[in-house]
Amino acid sequence: MANMHDELPTNHNESLIGSLNKLIKIAIKILAILMVLVIFWGVGDVLYVMYKNLMAEPFMLLNLTDIFKTFAAFLAVLIAIEIYQNIVLYLSSNVIPLKLVLATALMAIARKVIIIDFKELTPMYIFSIAAVVLALGIAYYVVNLEHAQDILESK
């Protein structure tokens, strides 16, 4: 493929390196297959969590804890989908999907914030999560600015 990454050339000067690069590309494809399985397993988990919570007393009602468990299950599946998209982009383009990687990290930390039990945390842990959210947010903003400038310059 013409769009493959140059980081893993299969026609390397050293034949051993070329063969190893082929094996790594196969491993990446296997990871993509496994991620699809994880996504479907996650969807099944979301359905199970919702069913279990809706069938428990009080029947067909969700309390706040149940809603957060459901959100956590949904977000886990969405993060798996984002990781799958990262794998596909890695295999099919010559561009590092930095924006998507940052978006995936933001979604993962957002999931952590949503399901966090504030009763059992130290202030330092909360400040650390806040620092990670801030750093990822700034990084995502800067990457978006750079992308917007590229679009404006191309017109």
Instruction: Please indicate, yes or no, if residue 2 is contained in any of the structural domains.
Output: no
Percent of the chain with pLDDT strictly greater than 70: 90
Per-residue confidence (pLDDT) for residue 3, from 0 to 100? 45
Residue 10 lies in a domain: no
pLDDT at 82 over 70: yes
pLDDT for the residue 56: 83
Task: Tell me the mean pLDDT in the region 27-42.
Answer: 93
155 falls in which pLDDT band (50, 70, 90)? low
Mean pLDDT, residues 112-129:
84
Give the relative orientation of helices 98-115 and 64-92 as an angle to the nearest 10 degrees: 170
The pLDDT assigned to 95 comes to 62
Answer whether residue 126 is part of any domain.
yes
Q: Is residue 43 part of a domain?
A: yes
Q: Which residues contact 16 (CB under 8 A, 6 or more apart)?
A: none
- Of 79-88, 108-117, 136-145, the poorest mean pLDDT is in 108-117
Q: Please report which helix (H) or strand (E) contains residue 6, including its range.
A: none
- Whether residue 63 lies inside any domain: the answer is yes
Residue type, 33: I
The reply to whether 5 falls in a domain is: no
> Regarding predicted confidence, which is higher, 140 or 66?
140
Q: Which domain holds residue 148?
A: 15-154
What is the per-residue pLDDT for 7? 67
Q: Does 104 map to a domain?
A: yes
Count of domains observed in the chain: 1
Residue 10 is given by DSSP the state: T
- Mean per-residue pLDDT of the chain: 83
Average pLDDT over residues 4-25: 77
